[in-house]
């Protein structure tokens, strides 16, 4: 979940609350915690603003401090959040038994996403997908052919194959091989969601998957 600016406060996951969603308040008992205002006309995300404001906040749950960078035109109603600290990692549930190297790759993608490194996160999710397929015996050909083979074997569904191509592989390829272009948080959220689902396909019911791999003659590889 990306941090959101609402009514002068920030809604975000708080590391001090175990990663739970919390409200970081900018005021308490009628008094603000403090802010630094830079009056300057500028553009951000295609809109014009007259100020950049650094707002000190406090988690309503545990009291941990936070700092928000916002852009506005003199009031909080039209403010847009640019950055927020502390970063908090939104960790997806993963099934047990995933090789350590693959799990570490996925978690690093989440860390990149937690502070807005969308391109890095998307490339790591593509890498996670390919490492997962290789570890399960899909070692030859391009990533596209590996995805297709896993579907043909019945390990992943036709709809999952489509999402693996569209949401993970193509996005990662754009980052790795094409000219620079921005990647959005929504793009990475979708890629992470479907990478997580594919990890579940391979490791939630591991016995059934291993039976399929054995039947198809897939030789698993060490992914530690």
**Domain boundaries in the chain?**
4-85, 100-215
Of the chain, the percentage scoring pLDDT greater than 90 comes to 74
Lookup result for tokens 């693996």? 164
Dihedral over alpha carbons 61, 67, 69, 70 (to 10 degrees): 40
- List the one residue out of 202, 189, 191, 184 whose CA is nearest residue 90: 189
Max mean pLDDT among 18-32, 38-52, 104-118 falls in 38-52
Rounded Cα gap, residues 216 and 218, in angstroms: 6
Residues 128-178 have pLDDT tens digits of 999 999 999 999 999 999 999 999 999 999 999 999 999 999 999 888 888
> What pLDDT does 90 receive?
72
pTM of the model: 0.73
The pair of structure tokens assigned to 49 is: 């603003």
CA atoms within 13 A on the CB side of 116: 10
Residues 86-138 have pLDDT tens digits of 987 778 899 999 999 999 999 999 989 887 899 999 999 999 999 999 999 99
> What pLDDT does 1 receive?
58
Residues 58-76 have pLDDT tens digits of 999 999 999 999 999 998 7
The pair of structure tokens assigned to 71 is: 């852009």
DSSP state of 78: G
> What pLDDT does 190 receive?
94
User: Within a 10 A sphere around the Cβ of 141, how many other Cβ atoms?
Assistant: 11
Of the chain, the percentage scoring pLDDT greater than 70 comes to 98
DSSP state of 16: G
Lookup result for tokens 């990662």? 172
Residue 222 confidence (pLDDT) above 70 = no
> What pLDDT does 219 receive?
81
Cα–Cα distances in angstroms (integers) from residue 198 to residues 64, 130, 141, 168, in the given order: 36, 11, 19, 11
Residue 180 confidence (pLDDT) above 60 = yes
Residue 224 confidence (pLDDT) above 50 = no
H-helix or E-strand spanning residue 113 = helix 100-114
> What pLDDT does 109 receive?
95
Instruction: Give the pLDDT mean for 17-29.
Output: 90
Rounded Cα gap, residues 104 and 111, in angstroms: 10
Q: Place 19 in a pLDDT band, splitting at 50, 70 and 90.
A: confident
> What pLDDT does 3 receive?
85
Give residue 173's region: left, alpha or beta (phi > 0; psi -120 to 50): alpha
> What pLDDT does 196 receive?
97
Burial string for 178-201 (b: 16+ CB within 10 Å, else e) reads eeeeebeeebbbbbbebbbbbbbb
User: Within a 10 A sphere around the Cβ of 36, how many other Cβ atoms?
Assistant: 11
Q: Give the three-state DSSP class for 203.
A: helix
Instruction: Give the pLDDT mean for 205-221.
Output: 92
């Amino acid at each position: 979940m990306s941090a959101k600016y609402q009514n002068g406060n920030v809604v975000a996951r708080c590391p001090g609350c175990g990663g739970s969603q919390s409200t970081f308040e900018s005021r308490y008992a009628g008094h603000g915690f403090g802010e630094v205002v830079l009056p300057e006309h500028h553009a951000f995300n295609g809109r014009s603003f007259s100020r950049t404001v650094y707002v000190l906040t406090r988690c309503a749950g545990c009291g941990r401090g936070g700092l928000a960078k916002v852009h506005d035109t003199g009031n909080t109603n039209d403010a847009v959040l640019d950055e927020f600290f502390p970063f908090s990692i939104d960790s997806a549930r993963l099934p047990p038994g995933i090789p350590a190297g693959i799990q570490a790759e996925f978690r690093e993608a989440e860390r990149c996403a937690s502070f807005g490194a969308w391109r890095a996160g998307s490339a790591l999710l593509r890498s996670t997908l390919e490492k997962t397929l290789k570890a399960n015996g899909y070692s030859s050909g391009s990533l596209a052919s590996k995805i297709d083979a896993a579907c043909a074997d019945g390990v992943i569904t036709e709809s999952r194959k489509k999402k693996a191509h569209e949401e993970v592989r193509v996005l990662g390829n754009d980052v790795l091989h094409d000219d620079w272009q921005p990647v959005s948080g929504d793009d990475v959220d979708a890629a992470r969601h479907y990478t997580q689902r594919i990890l579940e396909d391979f490791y939630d019911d591991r016995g059934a998957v291993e039976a399929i791999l054995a039947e198809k003659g897939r030789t698993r590889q060490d992914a530690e």
